[in-house]
Structure 1
Amino acid sequence: MDGLFPRSRAVIAPGAVHVPDWLSPERQRELVVACREWARGPVPLRHTALPGGGVMSVRTVCLGWHWQPYRYARTADDVNGAPVLPFPGWLAELGRAAVAEAYGRGGGSEAYAPDAALVNFYDGTARMGMHRDAEERSEAPVVSLSIGDTCVFRFGNTEGRGRPWTDVELASGDLFVFGGPSRRAFHGVPSVRPGTAPPGTGMSGGRLNLTLRETGLDG
């Protein structure tokens, strides 16, 4: 992304790596097209209902495994009971390339086998509270890809939702990978900055976030 100051890759915590501008504009557009197709169903993009009665402001569609609080299933039992879309092989290849970029060749990228993706859409008012990705049995890293508006990504610790944490700006095309000692760290998105997406992504507004996970689940 163009700006007054170049953005450099950074290790935010042990095992947590931010790589700015990793996705090319062409790849971002390809992912936007794919996300729009996935959002058509058979399980539509939806606001996830929480057990306590709340509803998430982010809208989500899943691939490979359907996530609902707080488990995975092959069918969207909390939406319409339809089978979740398959996890595409090309997206797994992208995940392996992302892990190699973050950790270097030999850093486990060859064995990385993501089988679930959560595609989250944030409008200008959407937020994500501090949480950790705990439903996966695998300790393989989580790969996060950002397209569209910039967000503040709050990356915390493994002990609780409070401090210490680090706020990172994730812009369109950025990669964030967290694994190893940071795999179960709490994280969230306290704000999105409307109107900050670069031209040419194919999005008219908002932020897309693709998170790839290796569930370690059978079936």
Structure 2
Amino acid sequence: MKKTGLFFGTFNPIHIGHLILANHMAEFTDLDQVWFVVTPKSPFKAKQTLLANTHRYQMVYEAIREYPKMSLTDIEFHLPQPNYTIDTLTRLQEQYGKEHRFALIMGEDNLKGFHKWKNYEAILEYYPLYVYPRLSKGTIPPALREHPGIHRVDAPVMEISATFIREQHGAGKNIRPLLPEGVWRYMDEMNFYR
């Protein structure tokens, strides 16, 4: 049975920081592989800069196609909205539970609000959390600080953001070094974020 880390995000766009982090999780923890879970455009949020699901999915595909320990899924595109992580985990378990043991990958900033997630206790009971450092404000609730299901990973701290990439690309700056080559080509061909 493969231990599979789930890396959720809009990936708008996916950048080298995401790849470095996913590779670190796949190579330097006990995870066998990392799946990128591309989250859909919420019908309740009017984000002008969020590309269509299919484009963001394609960019992730372009970014990871040469990394055998990385994969991606569009499972959340097919779930009722708004979607909650516990629902995605349940569906993944139903479909792939015989071959995979799932874990969640998240930044420390998400851990600070994790106690507000729907059914967070069930997530913690059945799915280990792999938490990487991320610069943020606030404190981690005491119950989560030393929880045995939470594994802190000394991964590189990446200060690259998709927001920065979109803004600077729109301003005409060269952001190409921040993107995997396939993502840059796709983004450039499609004239995204300009």
- TM-score, with structure 1 as normaliser: 0.25
**Larger relative helix fraction:** 2
**Larger relative strand fraction:** 1
- TM-score, with structure 2 as normaliser: 0.27
